[in-house]
Structure 1
Amino acid sequence: MEKLKNSSLDPIKAVPGLCISDRVAASSPPELRSQNIRRILSVLQPHDILKPTTLAYDDNDVECSGGPAQIQFKSILIDDDPTIDILQHLGTACDWIQDGLQPMSKDGAEPPRGVLVHCRQGNSRSGAFVVAYTLSLVICPNDCFEKQLRVWEHCRYDIYLEVEEDAGSEGRRERKEKPAHKAWKARRDDLLTRGEGDVNRARDSSLANAAAALGRCRLEDLEIQAAE
């Protein structure tokens, strides 16, 4: 709970304008103002989702649509669970982040726009989507999400392959899943068939590894700060 008390937007140094946070910071007008956030990607369960209600922001009303100080919202409704298929969301999410980071004007007259990716705690789910966009190692998603990111990379950042249908289809194309994604889903389905005990053990192991990795990252940060 200490993290929630000191919630803030953390800029991703490798990608100017991209930030990550927990749910609390994502609803803080001062934090959003500090990074000029214009898009918010929420990766949460439905009951945790950030409601796009009006926010006080630079003396203007910021809503999900309309107005000069518009903030756009996108939600991906998933749990922090190792059996969740995040691969199906990565393509559209990365495109949405990329579009949001594009400058509004070519002459640079307007300040750069910011994009925020957040989940409940600002670590695993949001971290997985930020890693997918930046291919960075500074975030700590749970290890099952990390495995899916490797599949995403193996699939060259698109889990679907467009192929032409048979000769009688008048040249129409259809999307088919790539083998790597099918293989991951087969392993996931196999785990689910083993029963609740095996699923819970996999879930606990995954979250424990993510927590340990996050702890190592924080320790390294403290050691760097102490050295400075």
Structure 2
Amino acid sequence: MAKEDLSIARAARFAELGHEGNLDDKTRSELEGAAVGDLDARARSSALGALVRSFDVTEHDVAELTATWLLAVRDVDAAVRRRAGELGPKIVGVATVKSVVIAALIDLLGDEEITVIETAAWALGECDLTSDQCALAVSSLAQITIEHDQALAREAAAAALGALGDPNGLPAILVACTDKPAVRRRAVLALAPFSGPEVEAAIEAATQDRDPQVRRAAEILLQATKE
């Protein structure tokens, strides 16, 4: 069997293991090793996903899973880092030291790969954060929303700020409401948790936007306020 086929086969096998429920120690150890040591990025991603799907909530397993995930967020391959970001909210939900996981997700916002940044922003928006953790996340997300040179990153960060609903993120969302069309659309929707004259003015302006999707986003918000 060719090397490529072997890699695909390993990834498929790891994925199947993740659907088998509680794993024995030998299989879990194999997945932990593969998640950080397999030579193929697809296999590493698959093994990491299998671990998260099948882990047993014990103090030992949580510690091992968190340690493996923390290695994955620093993987040399962007696909593995992106997969780790996708799994971030689940890790936050079970981790004993959640602040370490949140810090790792915030670090991913500085990744060189745009899709990793997009995923990390989404993950932070899905996490249940303490006030201190939220302040750190909002600060980083707001900076990306205003300053990042890639529209996809600004769009994802604006959406995450809306998901978090922290008032400190509102100024950045308002700036994003004047960005490119795709960013404006997500930014307008991100205004949903907020209220006040500035928010009302931004939504009203969006109803007159030259882009139909931005206008539609504003209409959705206005309709929601009437219900």
Short-chain TM bin: under 0.3
Higher strand share: 1
Q: Which has the higher contact order (CA 8 A, sep 6+)?
A: 1
Higher helix share: 2
* TM-score, normalised by the number of residues in structure 1: 0.23
